[in-house]
Chain A
Amino acid sequence: EPEVTQTPSHQVTQMGQEVILRCVPISNHLYFYWYRQILGQKVEFLVSFYNNEISEKSEIFDDQFSVERPDGSNFTLKIRSTKLEDSAMYFCASLEQPDYGYTFGSGTRLTVV
């Protein structure tokens, strides 16, 4: 079964450092998303990406965050200057077409110290 692949599985970073989280969506999917989940809390929407541009973003997705699809396969989330409160699981998801369920990756656990 096709999978969404995320790397790394765990990232520890110093506060103020930049991190890049990587995702390889399913190859024929056209819609890409980043969600995050703070420990013990619900999954929260960050940003959606379609046709090489951001289609929607939440209040959480401020100027510290950016997304990119640098080539035909990767989809990255960059956090420019990490804060302690950025510590969370970050999930990438992709979608073949609207009104279908996402396929989520297994997540990257980001720990900011």
Chain B
Amino acid sequence: GENVEQHPSTLSVQEGDSAVIKCTYSDSASNYFPWYKQELGKGPQLIIDIRSNVGEKKDQRIAVTLNKTAKHFSLHITETQPEDSAVYFCAANTGNQFYFGTGTSLTVIP
């Protein structure tokens, strides 16, 4: 099955700085890579996704890049704000099932 690894496990940045979270996957057949944000006591919420036929996707302050050859994808958050503080999970699909990374706890320091 798919194996998704995520780094770092914790990340602290100053407000206004950028944050980058990286994931690797093992199954070359995976073709859809969502990112989820989970706030305390809530379920994961989809924030951005990318398909394997695209190398980069941007939505305001959030961007995701995908390198299919190297089997890695990254989440980039620019101009971070305190409300960006949360746990972020990457995921990769095998069919309709998703495998999640272990999560990155992001803290934005005001």
Which A residues contact B (CB, under 8 angstroms)?
4, 6, 31, 41-45, 48, 50, 55-56, 91, 95, 98-107
Contacts and interface: CB of A to CB of B under 8 A. Distances in A.
A104 B96 contact: no
Contact of B97 (A41, A48, A101): A48
Contacts of A4: 43
Interface stretch (B14-22, B45-53, B72-80): B45-53
Given A91-B43, A101-B34, A104-B44, A45 B51 contact: no
Interface residues of B, number: 23
A45 B42 contact: no
A91 to B, nearest CB: 5
A83 B84 CA distance: 36
Which of B42, B44, B51, B102 has its CB near the most chain A CB atoms (within 10 A)?
A: B44
A103 B49 CA distance: 13
Contacts, number: 52
A98 B96 contact: yes
Contacts of A44: 100
B40 to A, nearest CB: 11
Contacts of A102: 34, 46, 98
20 contacts: A31-B96, A41-B102, A42-B89, A42-B100, A43-B44, A45-B97, A48-B96, A48-B97, A55-B96, A56-B95, A91-B43, A99-B31, A99-B93, A101-B32, A101-B49, A102-B34, A104-B43, A105-B43, A107-B42, A107-B43
Please classify the interface of chain A as helix (H, G, I), strand (E, B), loop, or mixed, using the class held by over half of its residues: strand
Contact of A42 (B32, B43, B97, B102): B102
A104 B45 contact: yes
A106 B95 contact: no
A4 B96 CA distance: 18
Given A31-B96, A99-B32, A101-B32, 5 more contacts: A56-B97, A102-B34, A104-B36, A104-B45, A107-B42
A27 B85 CA distance: 31
